[in-house]
Chain A
Amino acid sequence: MNKVPGAAYLLAILVVVFAIFGSGFATAANLLNIGVQSSVLLLLALPMTLIIMSEGLDLSMGAVLSFAGVVLATMLMKEYRLVTALLAAVSVGLAFGVANGLLVVTLGLPPFVATLGTLGVAQGLALVMSGGQSVVGIGDALPALYAREPAGVPFAIWMATGAFVVFHLAFRYTRLGSYVSALGGNREALVLAGVRANLYHVGVYALGGVMAGFAALLLTGRMSAGHPTAAIGLEFDAVAAVIVGGTSFERGKGTLGGTLVGVLTIGVLKNGLNVLEVPSSLQVASIGVLVIVALVLDSIVQAIATRRRGVRTA
């Protein structure tokens, strides 16, 4: 990362404002709380970054996460082992991710409508499997795991940090990074270079499904239950975090570091508004506004940068 993402300034401003006006915002406990609240979102936003860089979109993530959560909770309720249940949840995610990838890449459907369709399918399956009710009585294994705090840091933060490190290393030190950038920016060159572009492209969507499966572990652990509509709309937060983090829908530009900042910005915004006792419904609306502000700021910064460059070359 050679450049500070624009969202970092936004994040800094928000932190300062909330620290001044919200009593109880800048405490260690609350900051850890923001980390925990942001962890599920980060798990989704990491693969969403890669998907958006490939000029795609995955609107089904929230519904797939909900369905995977229902599967996980139902299996735990039937006293399967946690590992088996997690494997099932991740497999469900993988299946949806691969389906999204095949629809978009192999069949050439526009990503936003294809994944809107799979959103409906996942939501329907979650509702049918749970009968529209919360799946409770999932035993102690998962809540106990979720409650663990190795070295004083909650399990959710460890898991999110681990995911970020893995994504970052894979992106930085393997060919994945340049391939994914090329999928969006210069697919032709990738194909000419002999790379199996379709495989990587489907893989990016598959990764989105897998991460939704892992996110189901955290969300189900937090709620000690599976709920068929628990994560509806969470994909919007993920898309918002990616955009706020500076990844663009065109030309395959973007960074995972930027997405991390985007996720934290949304986490801080939600938490800060909570501390200021703004109703949670308005927090949803504020994320929409945040995205617009980030985009407008970005276009202004770019316009200034272009102008400066113009002066220099002239």
Chain B
Amino acid sequence: MKTLAYRVVALAAIGIALTFATDVFFTSGNLLNVLRQASLTFLIASGLTLTILTAGLDLSVGANVGLSACLAATVMKSTDSIALGVVAGLGFGALVGALNGLMVTLLKLPPFIATYGMLWTLNGVTYWFMGGETIHGFAPGFRSLGTGYWHGVPIPVYVMAAFLAVGGVFTRYTTFGQEVYAIGANREAARLSGVPVRARLNLVYILSGAMAGLAAIVYLARLNSAEADIGEPLTLPAIAAVLIGGTSLFGGIGSLTGTLVGALTLTLVVNGMNLLAVDANWQPLVTGVIVILAVLIDVMTRQRAEARV
């Protein structure tokens, strides 16, 4: 995991630079804010990481967060039940994931095209479903999930830590986790060694969808409002976080810990831009350049590894 160490050093370097460049950066208020923001990016990116580990991709995570949040908000408002709203958001997210899985395993579509189609389909349905409305104002108990603190640390950070711990153990120490890596490293070899490839891929896409649903719940609690366009700016940062974290687009290499480092790095960059009063319009450009650089490093690492063999 030497490459992960480099990435942590890079993260620390950005942090140190920002500490010297701005007065506000190294204050507990700002750092907790960064952590809260990073935890959301991590939740969206964690399921995405699993799909990329299998040499797949889920471009629909952002749009899925958008529609799941709108659905959860509607259910919560109309039934006055937090639990039902949460179940609706999670359930719908997982359903979208299941559809993605079926397109990949049953229709044998390339994952990027299947989930890309899903992205725009979900966007369309979300705008239709919301009809330009905004739903806002939720119960304080629910909102604390996004805005609250426990022992001085934002609650989303605990959610992130819990999922990092569970997901880390899951991917590293269970048969399922090993099978995910095996499918990504060499699908045919995995199939021949008895890995139920289609069933595992379906599960991975369902997990990716469910994590988007969970992120939607946390996001909703933080924003305290749901609109049709809330999912749109989330896709590129999630993909950037996974790639900065060192998970290879070619499958089989990477980790959830890496994605956490990636989410933190990206959040620091955006936070730094805000603190340095850079126009927010620059953000897509910076994220885009980061994505390209991260993939470039991925490709060059791979080429060097192949040259060595």
| Contacts from A to B (Cβ < 8 Å) | 57, 59, 103, 107-110, 112-114, 116-125, 127-128, 131-132, 233, 236, 239-240, 243, 249, 279, 281-289, 291-292, 295-296, 299
Contacts and interface: CB of A to CB of B under 8 A. Distances in A.
Contact of B110 (A118, A122, A249): A249
A295 to B, nearest CB: 6
Contact of A117 (B121, B123, B127, B289): B289
Q: Which of B113, B123, B288, B289 has the most CB of A within 10 A?
A: B288
A295 B109 contact: yes
Contacts of B239: 113, 116
A288 B291 contact: no
Interface string B284-296: 1111110110011
Contacts of A121: 284-285, 288-289, 292
A284 B121 contact: yes
B284 A110 contact: no
B121 A114 contact: no
Interface string B102-133: 01000101101100111111111111100100
B299 A239 contact: no
Contact of A127 (B125, B281, B287): B281
A97 B49 CA distance: 29
Interface residues of B, number: 43
Interface in B118-157: 118-128, 131
B120 A236 contact: yes
Q: Which of B120, B127, B303 has the most CB of A within 10 A?
A: B120
Contacts of A122: 288
A103 B281 contact: no
Contacts of A233: 120, 123
A119 B124 CA distance: 20
Given A288-B118, A292-B117, A112 B124 contact: no
Interface in B75-125: 103, 107, 109-110, 112-113, 116-125
B128 A124 contact: no
A113 B249 contact: yes
B224 interface: no
Contacts of A109: 292, 295-296, 299
Interface string B232-267: 000010010001000001000000000000000000
Given A113-B295, A124-B286, A282-B128, A239 B113 contact: yes
Contacts of A279: 127-128, 131
B112 A112 contact: yes
A233 B285 CA distance: 17
B112 A57 contact: yes
A8 B249 CA distance: 36
A285 B124 contact: yes
Interface string B52-65: 00000101000000
Given A57-B112, A128-B285, A236-B120, 14 more contacts: A109-B292, A110-B295, A113-B239, A117-B292, A127-B281, A128-B279, A128-B281, A239-B113, A249-B113, A284-B121, A284-B127, A285-B123, A291-B117, A292-B103
